[in-house]
Structure 1
Amino acid sequence: MGINHPVLASFLCPISALADFNRDPVLAQKWMEIRWICMTLIDFPTFLWAGNPPGSRYNEDMMSEGLFQCYFLERVSHIFTGPSTALGDDSCATHLCNASLHDMTTVEAEHIAYACVQ
């Protein structure tokens, strides 16, 4: 799957290339395959920004606005700490959150990947 799937390719596309991807998704997907659009550690993927689709609320002048406020990270919070903390409701917990029960003190890449496939 990955960049071979049109929707996943749009999520994995570096945010700096999102405008190119939106102009011509098929061409941008090919550029990602041949590494003309580079996916590096410096360039965050589109799915890390808020919006539906991800990255649609990206503002080049204020790059950090909306970063890490995306759907997937909300779901990680929902899975590990509970729906009320993830969705901003007043807490009404009746028991410990999953993270406490499993002695998890940090969110790792595996946790985000797990949330993505749920």
Structure 2
Amino acid sequence: MNSEQLVNIWFEKWNSGDFMNLPITDSFEHTSPFGIVKGKKAYIDLIKEKEKENETKFLGYSFELQDTLYKLESACVHYTARQGPDFCLDVSEWYYFKNNLIDKVIAYYHIGDIREERLYKS
């Protein structure tokens, strides 16, 4: 399976809510602005926990891929995640593969207000 196929399966699983069958290794690692989750079990457990707290936390999104870059052992995808009529989030993610599965994802997205000192000044 090539990197494009694996990324497509990843998004298909999220679109259908089938996070239990994501194509990830047992040693899967997910890095985001919220921190690092290590291990497939820990990642799946986190999704389950968040879904119990707030059923819209992880599921119910649609994904519009904006730009993609596929390499032999990695890929980068820029996409817009939409949930309902009022929420969208632009995300860039790097995917790293091992044994025809996703071994690592590094996600980049904005999670809060921009500090005053970080604003562009004209």
What is the TM-score normalised by the length of structure 1? 0.24
State the TM-score, normalized to the length of structure 2. Answer: 0.23
- Between Structure 1 and Structure 2, which shows a larger proportion of helix residues? 1
Greater relative CO (CA pairs within 8 A, separation 6+): 2
Which has more strand, going by share of residues?
Answer: 2
